[in-house]
Amino acid sequence: MGILRRTIATFHTEFNELPTLRKLKQVLTDRIGFNGCIDTLRIILKESGYEWSKIDDNRKALVEKHDIQMLRFQYLRQLKKYRDEGRYIVYTDESYVHTTHLQNMCWKPVKGVSAVQKKLSKCTWVIIVHAGGCEGFVPNARLVYKANSTSGDYHDNMNLDNYKKWLTTQLLPNLPVKAVIVVDNASYHNALLEKAPNSNSNKQAMQTWLTEKNIQFDEKMKKI
């Protein structure tokens, strides 16, 4: 994502032209091996907060939405505040290694010694969870385990329960007082202990929730 944003931000100064989907796709293919189609790139841009805006001569330029910009400004200001206070800032993330993550060709040490061969196993992932900051990785915070998902998506193996267990047993006990933890927007990072009813909830669930929260309402009211 960082490469995508930097490429868009410097496209005009680097290539002296406005980015188009086709041109942007070519640059990303050359730099990071992006192998998606133009429609896929369009979806990624939209989900990343970009939109097309008209400029001079009725042309369109790829710009970041203002609300996304404001969220970044707020994040950077808050981060600077914590740094000025001397607080320890730690960044966390989850990733994976697949058993087929090997090069098709490699160097052999000597003649007669077998080269590293690409494994043919499927759907075998190793999940890696860790945290670190300016002083390196947090001691005893590394979590590595074999995924057991059969859905074809390693994200299914890192859910709220797994994340809470790692957070409370491995990360928090090894952080200094008043440390700041930076996380991304994964769904299990933003889970609510108690979800409020929404438009898909039935009327009885809405009434029960309102009653528990001591919010007055007329029982004759419709869901809307």
* pLDDT of 114 higher than 60: yes
Sole residue written with tokens 């206070």? 85
Phi/psi of residue 101, each to 5°?
-80, 70
The Cα–Cα gap between 125 and 119 comes to: 12
Dihedral sign for Cα 81, 83, 85, 90, please.
positive
Rg, Å, the chain Cα set: 24
Q: What is the predicted pLDDT for the residue at 62? A: 78
Helix, strand, coil percent values for the chain (each to nearest 5)? 40, 15, 45
The predicted-structure confidence for 157-212, as pLDDT tens digits, reads as follows 778 888 999 999 999 999 999 999 999 888 888 888 888 898 889 999 999 999 99
Domains (ranges, CATH) in the chain? 2-64 (1.10.10), 87-103+117-189 (no CATH), 194-224 (no CATH)
Strands 180-182 and 89-98: parallel
